[in-house]
Structure 1
Amino acid sequence: MVFNEDIFKRVTETGGSIEVVCGSMFSGKTEELMRRLNRARIAKLSVQIFKPKTDIRYDENAIVSHNSQSFPCVSIDNSASILLLYNDEHVVAIDEAQFFDADLPEVCNTLANKGVRVIIAGLDMDFKGRPFGPMPALMAIAESVTKLHAVCVRCGNPALNSYRLIPGEEKILLGETETYEPRCRSCYNS
């Protein structure tokens, strides 16, 4: 590994951090994550990306936005694997964080306490409008939280909910526009 003192100094002087990008489906969370990763690469920071193995919608070894942009990543079974596979990168990104276990906030704190910039993207609420997985705890410990909104497909207002079109009670149901649509509070509840 090549040690770049300037980059190491820049990251450690500011300390690590946790950033959360959240919102409903189709709000642009993964696109925003990718935008931040592109900027980190321009700054010559090393980047490592993780996602849950359960997310197989587009590509098992890449995070992919709805507009088909992609970044290679490591698919893992649990959040503890992040610490095992971490290779001293300056930036660690985690997509679809809502699917990870309750240990993810502690993993992110461990990395941030080592001076790592941790960027997390995920749904803040499930299809029933309830807080989803470790996302509330991640938002609580983050230095910054960015909440994105989709466009309500019914009225055009900002959408904060992911409305499930298919009947069922299972909390995790992977899908796209055939399964979910973004809705504002009013249209979600009507």
Structure 2
Amino acid sequence: MKNLKSIALALVVVLSTTLASAQTKKIDVKTSSIEWLGKKVTGQHNGTVNFKEGAVVFKGKKLVGGSFTVDVASLTATDLSGEYLGKLNGHLKADDFFGTDKFPTATLVIKKIGAKSANVYTATADLTIKGITQPVTFDITVNGNTATTTFNVDRTKYGIKYNSKSFFDTIGDKAIYDEFELKVALKF
């Protein structure tokens, strides 16, 4: 009986220590940023989209996870102004692209993470856009209370096929490339 109590106590101590070592840090949504870049045959557009919420998870100094919600309705171009800005923003928020009336948020949940080098990790995450979840893999660098990453997303995997040469081979110079770039800077 003493051995059973000792084993149970040791198990409680080990579990408590393991659970206590994981620390969740909320991101500062006001100072964290997401910049996007979309390219087409005849040029490109860039802009921003805001975080709604998010958190990173550490065990000691090692990044072990994270989850984020993006306010897709906040999406805006930063390379245009006036009438053209309004037209592009309206089109990007329409059903042809992100359909923000029906899908106002997107999420990213890190499922697997491994150390690549000092302060650099390779993460595999589930990215959900327009209600469709697909895996994405990217490297993320952590320095103190910041983390940065840049990765590409294939919009066609989320049902965004507007002017994609993959689906409309006669589109010519009106083609928009399937992948767009996200440059993310987290502060926590």
The normalised TM-score by structure 1 is 0.21
Compare the two structures and name the one with the higher strand fraction. Answer: 2
The normalised TM-score by structure 2 is 0.21
- Which of the two has higher C-alpha Rg? 2
Compare the two structures and name the one with the higher helix fraction. Answer: 1
Q: Using CA pairs below 8 Å that are at least 6 residues apart, which structure has the higher relative contact order?
A: 1
